[in-house]
Structure 1
Amino acid sequence: MKLTKPSLSFWQILNMNVGFLGIQYSFGLQQTAINPIFLYLGAPEDMLPILNIAGPVTGLIIQPIIGAMSDKTWSPRWGRRKPYFLIGALMGSLCLFAFPHSPVLWFAVGLLWILDVGNNMAMEPYRAFVGDKLPEKQLSLGYQMQSLFVGAGILLANGSIVLFQYLFGGESVEEAGTIPQWLYYSFFIGAFLSLTTILWSVIKTPEIPPSDEELDEINKIKKLPFSKRILKPFMEIVEAIKEMPKFMWKIGAVYLFQWYALFIYWQFTTPLFKKTLDFTTSEAASQAAKMSLTYNTVTMIVALMLVPLTLKFGGKKIYAISLIGTAAALFSIPYISDPNLVLVPMIFFGIGWAAMMGIPYTMVSKIVPQERRGVYMGILNMMIVIPMFIQTLTFGPIYKYLLGDNAINAMLFAGVFFGIAALLAFRLNETKSVNVD
Structure 2
Amino acid sequence: MSANNHISQELGQQSHTQKSNSSKNNNQQVQPQLNFWQIFNMCFGFLGIQFGFALQNANVSRIFQTLGAEIDDIPILWIAAPLTGLIVQPIIGYLSDNTWNFLGRRRPYFLIGAIFTTLSLFIMPHSPTLWIAAGMLWIMDASINIAMEPFRAFVGDNLPQNQRTQGYAMQSFFIGVGAVIASALPYILTNYFDVANTAPAGEIADSVRYAFYFGGAVLFLAVGWTVVSSKEYSPEELADFHQQETDQQQPLVENQRSVSQYRNGAMIWMAIGAIFTAIIVTQDLDKQLYILSLGIFAFGPLQLICSIKLANKNQQARSSLGLVFNVVDDLFHMPKAMRQLAVVQFFAWFALFAMWIYTTAAVTSYHYGSTDVVTQAYNDGADWVGMLFASYNGFAAIAAIIIPFLAKAVGIKFTHTINMFLGGIGLISFYFIKDPTQLWIPMIGVGFAWASILSVPYAMLSGVIPPKKMGVYMGIFNFFIVIPQLLAASILGLLLKIFFDGQPIYAVVLGGVFMMISGIAVLFVDQNKHTQ
User: What's the TM-score once normalised by structure 2's chain length?
Assistant: 0.76
1:104 counterpart (110, 129, 143): 129
The answer for the alignment partner of 1:58 in structure 2 is 84
> Would you say the 8 A contact 1:84–1:121 is kept in 2?
yes
1:332 counterpart (429, 432, 447): 429
User: Aligned equivalents of 1:135 and 1:286: distance in 2?
Assistant: 42
The answer for the alignment partner of 1:319 in structure 2 is 416
Stretches of structure 1 lacking an aligned partner (at least 5 in a row)? 216-227
For 2:41, the aligned partner's letter is N
Q: 5 Å matches for 1:176-255?
A: 176-211=201-236, 232-255=322-345
How many Å apart are 1:331 and its aligned residue? 1.0
How many Å apart are 1:312 and its aligned residue? 4.0
1:93 counterpart (115, 118, 128): 118
Name which of structure 1's ranges 234-243 and 264-273 shifts more when overlaid on structure 2.
Answer: 234-243
For 2:416, the aligned partner's letter is Y
Name which of structure 1's ranges 328-337 and 105-114 shifts more when overlaid on structure 2.
Answer: 328-337
For 1:351, the aligned partner's letter is F
Q: Tell me the percent identity.
A: 38
User: Aligned equivalents of 1:213 and 1:267: distance in 2?
Assistant: 40
The answer for the alignment partner of 2:504 in structure 1 is 407
Question: Which of structures 1 and 2 has the larger relative contact order (alpha carbons within 8 angstroms, sep 6+)?
Answer: 1
> Would you say the 8 A contact 2:197–2:379 is kept in 1?
no
Name which of structure 1's ranges 169-178 and 200-209 shifts more when overlaid on structure 2.
Answer: 169-178
> Would you say the 8 A contact 1:36–1:281 is kept in 2?
no
The Cα offsets for residues 62-92 of structure 1, whole Å up to 9 and x where unpaired, read as 00111011111111x1100111111111110
User: Aligned equivalents of 2:231 and 2:324: distance in 1?
Assistant: 28
Stretches of structure 2 lacking an aligned partner (at least 5 in a row)? 1-22, 241-317, 371-376
User: What's the TM-score once normalised by structure 1's chain length?
Assistant: 0.92
> Number of residues paired by the alignment?
422
Q: Does 1:296 align with 2:393?
A: yes
1:157 counterpart (167, 177, 182): 182
The answer for the alignment partner of 1:28 in structure 2 is 54
> Would you say the 8 A contact 2:359–2:505 is kept in 1?
no
User: Aligned equivalents of 1:185 and 1:328: distance in 2?
Assistant: 34
Larger-Rg structure: 2
The Cα offsets for residues 241-288 of structure 1, whole Å up to 9 and x where unpaired, read as 222101111111111211111111111111111222225331121111
The Cα offsets for residues 95-128 of structure 1, whole Å up to 9 and x where unpaired, read as 0000111111111110000001100000001100
The answer for the alignment partner of 1:49 in structure 2 is 75
Q: 5 Å matches for 1:72-151?
A: 72-75=98-101, 77-151=102-176
> Would you say the 8 A contact 2:346–2:481 is kept in 1?
yes
User: Aligned equivalents of 1:214 and 1:341: distance in 2?
Assistant: 52
Name which of structure 1's ranges 412-421 and 151-160 shifts more when overlaid on structure 2.
Answer: 412-421
1:10 counterpart (26, 33, 36): 36
For 2:230, the aligned partner's letter is T
User: Aligned equivalents of 1:170 and 1:110: distance in 2?
Assistant: 27
Q: 1:94 to 1:172 in 2, by over 3 A?
A: closer
How many Å apart are 1:3 and its aligned residue? 3.2
For 2:209, the aligned partner's letter is Y
Q: Does 1:256 align with 2:346?
A: yes
For 2:439, the aligned partner's letter is V
For 1:326, the aligned partner's letter is G
Q: Does 1:378 align with 2:403?
A: no
> Would you say the 8 A contact 2:414–2:523 is kept in 1?
yes
The answer for the alignment partner of 1:423 in structure 2 is 520
Q: 1:311 to 1:173 in 2, by over 3 A?
A: closer
The Cα offsets for residues 23-65 of structure 1, whole Å up to 9 and x where unpaired, read as 1011101110111010111100111111000111111000011
